[in-house]
Amino acid sequence: MSSDRVDVGGLTQRLSEIFYDQALGDISISVNDEILPKTEDPLKEESKYGDCYIFDYQDFENPRPGSEKDVVRLEHDFCELNFNVYSDYLDLTKQQTLDVLKMAAKKDHTRSKCFVCCFLTHGAPGKLLMHDKYIKIDDILKCFSSCKSLEGKPKIFIFQACRGGCCEEGVPCDSTDSDSGSVTDIPDFRDYLLIYSTYEGKISFKTKDEKREENNHGSFFIDELCRTLEQFSGELDLLQILTIVNYRVSHFYLSHTLEEEFDKKKQMPCFISRLTTQVKFNRQIPMFVSNDTRYFDYRRSFSRKTILKVIYLPVLLIYGQALLKEVIKEMN
């Protein structure tokens, strides 16, 4: 009888990369941005994976400076994943946005494997704020419901936006809330994947809100989404990657804002999948390295220790000194 051998050491290391990301080490922030050299593209003659549109809205009464950092990060990752990236859409009005979406839906996507669309803006339950007025998320999705060349293909929408004015307090448990969503329950929305930086009714944090932080580095969610894509796009499917993103954002970050009511709060991303096929890029891409990613490295390390102190420590006091000693050891 033969037996299979399992590389326990290798498995442990991989789980550590996914859930603990212990390679934070000594973190320093430099003033010079750099992107690792691009790897030689062995598939440059291959058809593009699909189109990726990125819409960025910054010019509001309550502006969103630093959002361009998220645009650059998304551009990098989706270009490396062999997408056609269209990102010259800054501060469009509602009608201009709809015009671009309708134009995109009329294109021939026959050779594409999927379609991606990203929105970086302010939001409210079920809608996004354009330069002049709100647009319903359903109206965005409906632009593609009749696109024949995208039938049966994944249509992926990424939303970096608030979905209400409440904060996630954070609790020491293993469960997460499901998202109510706003997508009408009709067959036209088959093969859609909606990726939200937070769930219904909650705030989505950005670094512009940070205490004593003069620079704007982008958003925690987009950094973690791109970081995880860069780590695992060559081996995991997209839903597995998004599950890791949910874990990391909800465990590694705690807000550190100027307003006390929004300080030391959590953020829980979510996604709604109506996919009928697997999305797997099978393409390892280089890590994006910059002053902004180094800042997020620092914030992840800082937040982990703060979370232990603020949320978990009081609970551990109830369960005994043995657990308390382990937590204190972890914080040090």
Our answer to whether residue 122 is catalytic in this structure is yes
Our answer to whether residue 76 is catalytic in this structure is no
Contact 310, 264 (CB under 8 A): yes
Q: Which amino acid is at 82?
A: N
Residue of 52, 117, 143, 162 with catalytic role: 162
Contact 67, 52 (CB under 8 A): no
Q: Which H/E stretch holds residue 192?
A: strand 192-196
Q: Which H/E stretch holds residue 90?
A: strand 83-90
Reduce the DSSP state of residue 2 to 3 states and report it.
coil
> Which pLDDT score, from 0 to 100, does residue 325 have?
63
For tokens 């998304």, what's the residue?
74
Residues 6+ positions from 54 with CB-CB distance below 8 Å: 71, 74, 75, 85, 86, 87, 89, 117, 118, 120
For residue 325, count other CB atoms closer than 10 A to its CB: 11
Contact 266, 306 (CB under 8 A): no
Provide the residue-wise pLDDT of the chain in tens; the chain has 332 residues. 444 444 545 655 665 566 555 443 333 334 344 444 444 444 445 689 999 999 999 887 777 778 899 999 999 999 999 999 999 999 999 999 999 999 999 999 999 999 999 999 988 889 998 889 999 999 999 999 999 999 999 999 999 987 754 444 443 333 333 333 444 444 468 999 999 988 775 575 555 555 555 568 888 899 999 999 999 999 999 999 999 999 998 888 776 666 655 555 677 899 999 999 999 999 999 999 999 899 888 877 765 555 555 445 555 555 555 655 665 665 55
Residue of 76, 109, 122, 256 with catalytic role: 122
Angle between helices 238-252 and 220-232 (to 10 degrees): 140
Q: How many CA atoms lie within 13 A of 80 on its CB side?
A: 25
Nearest to 50 by CA among 182, 191, 240: 191
> Which pLDDT score, from 0 to 100, does residue 241 have?
97
